Amino acid sequence: MGRRLLEVFGIPAAVLPRIGPSSGVFGLTAAGRRTAGRHSYREPHRDSHAALFGHAAFRPGAVKATYGTGSSLMTLLEAPVLSRAGLSTTVAWGLADRTWYALEGNITVTGGAVDWLGQVLGLDDPAQSVANLAATTPASGGVYLVPAFAGLGAPHWDPDARGLVCGLTQGTSAAHIARATIESIAYQVRDVFDAMREASPVALPELLADGGASANDMLMQFQADLLGCPVVAAARPISRLVEQHGWLSGRRHLAWARRSATATARHRSFRAADR
């Protein structure tokens, strides 16, 4: 298939970059006046893949969600699995001994909806102000928000979908709408998580969370209740990407072992409420 695509688009194979392990060296910088000697370029891992590795998600069954302007869920696989439920199959990472794969689902708008509401309400520091407003009510009062401001991503893939607020009454307050906006993040994550449950060859016992919105305890607890399983959130939402690069480099130079025990010590756990 790969060679066929090159032929279709008229791309010579020689211009493509070399494929190597995620912890490998991919080149050297040129020596110059601003650098002392040449430096290696290694570990070209970013975003979702980096976050999955940073959670020490080294065994199938681990699922991570990165809560950003949009959100991405990934679950590790030993071999490629083709999903019929709107998920993408990708390479997670390649190490010296083998290649690992993943199922991925990208959600178009999650934290972006919180920013949108904060701007509509004219709030300073929109994300934090909406979170504070939502915390003043224990529920959304029957209000639901579908933040399809740019269509819907995984697992629905409907570019023509548009945003919706429903369940409004005379008793609806700004706090109810704020709560519904934050809860809309969890509902969309659940859609992707359920699709992963359907496609994964192994059980998915918990969700590993990172990204800015994972600092919101109310959201993390609501997420656990929706999924019916524990949510383990990074203690420092941005730390996983930084940690990943050290781990990949350490695997090559044997400076670190897999520090699963250390990783799991830096988290906040949220367990689903009894139903």
pLDDT at 94: 83
Residue 15, judged by CB atoms within 10 A of its CB (0-12, 13-18, 19+), counts as exposed
Q: How far is CA 258 from CA 58, 177, 275, in A?
A: 9, 43, 36
Q: Maximum Cα–Cα distance for the chain, whole Å?
A: 69
Give the global pTM: 0.83
In the structure encoding, which two tokens stand for residue 154, read together?
A: 């995984």
Going by C-alpha positions, the residue among 76, 117, 113, 120 that lies closest to residue 98 is: 76
Fold classification of 46-275 is Nucleotidyltransferase; domain 5 (3.30.420)
pLDDT of residue 242: 46
Handedness of CA 102, 26, 39, 31 (dihedral sign): negative
Task: Please count the other Cβ atoms lying within 10 Å of the Cβ belonging to residue 121.
Answer: 14
pLDDT at residue 66, as a whole number: 94
Non-local (6+) Cβ contacts of 20 within 8 A are 26, 94
Please write the tens of the pLDDT for every residue from 183-210. Answer: 999 999 999 999 999 999 999 999 999 9
Q: Check: CB of residue 231 under 8 Å from CB of residue 6.
A: no
The secondary element (H helix, E strand) that includes residue 75 is strand 71-77
Q: Name residues of the chain where pLDDT drops below 70.
A: 1, 19-27, 31-46, 236-266, 275
Give per-residue pLDDT as tens, 248-270: 544 444 344 444 434 444 689 99
Distance CA 20, CA 253 (A): 16
